[in-house]
Amino acid sequence: MVKRIICIGLGGQGVLTVGKLLMQAASDKNLECTWTCKYGNEMRGGYSECNVIISDSKIASPYADHPDIVFLMKNDGPVVEASIERNEAAMPEGAVMYINKNSLDQDVSHRENVRVVEVPATDIATELGRGSNANLVLLGKLASESTLFTYEEFESSMCNYFESHGKGKFNDGNKKMLAAGRDA
């Protein structure tokens, strides 16, 4: 089993954190994993991407050239549609694309053999008073549908990750964001 995941967004939207959370959950299950990132020199608002590979055996390359999962947070108009087209073209049949619906200016057509899950993550997070946690809302949908780990395993790994980074006091709110995405 190998899962190749690309997380895309803008600096400040937490896409690199999403990749680290996925990596933590995989590591907690004793799976092999890699995490690589690329981003612009801006601290906020510039392009941000990470590649996560999760496998039950050794990983040959840390680059997700044919992603099984694409996690898309961006909300800067036409660039979103270009990211969708570029990544969707590289996805194998049966792959899944999770999109923050709030990032789309218009409906976008998709390949029929790629499943697309659109969640209004920014709206949901804002309604819950934590608009900056839209990444966790969208991640909640991905975690609830994952075959890599159960939702409960992922939630526990997420809490452990934030606790180990001195941010455990936010775990109750983070769990609410994750659950809101799961239930969306």
Q: Which two tokens stand for residue 132?
A: 């900056």
Tens digit of each residue's pLDDT (9 = 90 or more) over 52-64: 999 999 998 888 8
Contacts of range 13-16, beta carbons closer than 8 Å, 24 or more positions apart: 13/48, 13/73, 13/74, 13/75, 13/134, 13/135, 14/73, 14/132, 14/133, 14/134, 14/135, 14/136, 15/48, 15/49, 15/50, 15/71, 15/73, 15/135, 16/48, 16/50
Tens digit of each residue's pLDDT (9 = 90 or more) over 102-128: 887 767 777 889 999 999 999 999 999
Tens digit of each residue's pLDDT (9 = 90 or more) over 66-95: 999 999 997 665 566 677 888 888 999 999
- Predicted local distance difference test score (pLDDT) of residue 76: 60
Binned at pLDDT 50, 70 and 90, residue 10 comes out as: confident
Q: Is the pLDDT of residue 39 over 70?
A: yes
- Predicted local distance difference test score (pLDDT) of residue 43: 64
